[in-house]
Amino acid sequence: MKMLKLLLSLSVLSLLALMVTGCGGGRVNAKVIIPDNEVHVKLHSFELVADKLTIPAGSVTFKAINTDVVTHEMLVIPVADATMELPYDRTIARLSEDALVSLGEVPEIEAHTKGEVTLDLTPGTYILLCNLVGHYQAGMHTVLTVE
């Protein structure tokens, strides 16, 4: 009987502990609501990660954050489809920007800073990328579908 009481009080205690941690120590946490037309892009050596893969057409704000120790940038390139080859120039280790159609960009995002750009996007496929020397080839690109 003593054992049962002990077990019961232990489970009540752990339930209480769960309840307390579950609601952040009793404080009410305000939820951060990210608007539908915002894409948050994290840049780091050597990846470019967007928090959305698809977004509705219209005005889209890209909020880029560079968590790295080197400068990055973020270009928005419309493409026919996700497999379309972009004009990479080995001699400069970058995409040839003369041969690219860029709709806009967040240029020169220095280490540990952020920047944003708002663009009007029609339905289609877009590549978000960093075109600083070597960065595209190293993997700094991702696909965004606008519906």
- Backbone angles phi and psi of 59, in degrees to 5: -75, 120
Stretch that binds Cu ion, among 27-35, 78-86, 110-118, 128-136 (CB under 5 A): 128-136
Stretch that binds Cu ion, among 25-33, 52-60, 87-95, 129-137 (CB under 5 A): 129-137
Stretch that binds Cu ion, among 5-13, 19-27, 65-73, 104-112 (CB under 5 A): 65-73
Assess contact for 75 and 131: CB atoms under 8 A. yes
Query: Residue with CB nearest Cu ion?
Result: 130
Residue 72 in the binding site for Cu ion (CB under 5 A):
yes
Assess contact for 118 and 37: CB atoms under 8 A. no
Q: Could you please report the per-residue DSSP string of 87-142? A: -EETTTTEE-GGG----EEEEEE-TT-EEEEEEEE-SEEEEEE--STTTTTTT-EE
Residue of 103, 132, 143, 146 that binds Cu ion (CB under 5 A): 132
Residue of 135, 141, 142, 144 that binds Cu ion (CB under 5 A): 135
Residues binding Cu ion (CB under 5 A): 72, 130, 132, 135, 140
